[in-house]
Amino acid sequence: MKNLIPTGLLAAMAASLPSQAAAQEAGSFDQRGNDIFAGSTGWFVSLIFMNLPGTNFPWIVLWLVVAASIFTIYFGFFQIIAFGHAISLVKGDYSDPDDAGEVSHFQALTTALSGTVGLGNFAGVAVAVGIGGPGATFWMILAGLLGMASKFTECTLGVKYRNEYADGSVSGGPMYYMTKGFKERGIPGGRVLAVVFAIFTIGGALGGGNMFQANQAHAQITQITGDFSGLITGVIFAAVVFAVIVGGIKSIASVTEKVVPFMGSRMFWRL
């Protein structure tokens, strides 16, 4: 009996060695990926979030808040007074089947929300409260209200300067309205800014567009299943996302109009 105890312990330890080795290998793989991206993008992140001289206030925050404040004042606090009109638009009260476009107003809304709810509203809020305390929620609410003006301005310009094709499809965004809008007003540099924006969008799609979400999902899954390589989670998520986006904006909108309301209801009940 005495000999069985050490033998049992040795057997258990031997059985655990492969799983420990796999966990260490997974951790080293993930760490190598983190090191590569930290070394190549760390300088740019530091530049974007650099504090104003003599303060602890990032200049990018000041830039965004000032721009949003200007838009809010210029449009007469429309994000408050025109809220009812926004609801009517989403409901389809102003829809015309002969209008150009590939998705409905509601689908356009859910597609936009699918790219914002989560990264900023869940993870970002948690980080902000953890760093700045409960008082950070006030400034986030204020910045969010002002940011509605920035979003409205961007979307309006995107629609105004979009391309409409003979088959009914459309394409638009900052790349188009910077090129066309600057040229329309005789301001140089629009095409250069459009190219820079497109390049940064690709970088954002690689980082904040999917890596952060996949990383957070993997962290939650490993708490239940135990540690394993993040590459597995990434491949599965990539396959699911590919299956959605390969069909273009119509496929994306068809999925988001079903998923986003569920996301919103879950967020409401958590509150």
Helix (H), strand (E), coil (C) string for 56-71? CCEHHHHHHHHHHHHH
Q: What is the pLDDT of residues 205-250, one digit of tens each?
A: 776 667 777 887 888 888 888 888 888 888 898 888 888 887 777 7
Confidence of residue 69 (pLDDT cuts 50, 70, 90): very high
Task: Tell me the average pLDDT of the chain.
Answer: 78
pLDDT at 12: 41
Q: Are 178 and 197 in contact (CB under 8 A)?
A: yes
Record the tokens describing residue 212, joined without a space.
Answer: 């952060």
Q: Quote helix, strand, coil % in the chain, to nearest 5.
A: 75, 0, 20
Q: How confident is the model at residue 110 (pLDDT cuts 50, 70, 90)?
A: confident
pLDDT surpasses 50 at 4: no
CA distance 64 to 55: 17
Residue 171 β-bridge partners: 163
Higher per-residue pLDDT: 177 or 21: 177
Helical segments of the chain, H only:
4-48, 59-74, 78-81, 83-91, 105-114, 125-132, 136-160, 174-184, 190-206, 212-225, 230-245, 248-270
CB 258 within 8 A of CB 251: no
Contact 173, 182 (CB under 8 A): no
Full-prediction pTM beyond 0.75? Answer: no
For the cut 90, the answer to whether the pLDDT of residue 71 exceeds it is yes
CB 107 within 8 A of CB 182: no
40 pLDDT more than 80: no
Residue 8: the pLDDT is 46
Distance CA 145, CA 77 (A): 10
Q: What percent of the chain has pLDDT over 90?
A: 17
What per-residue confidence (pLDDT) applies to 5? 41
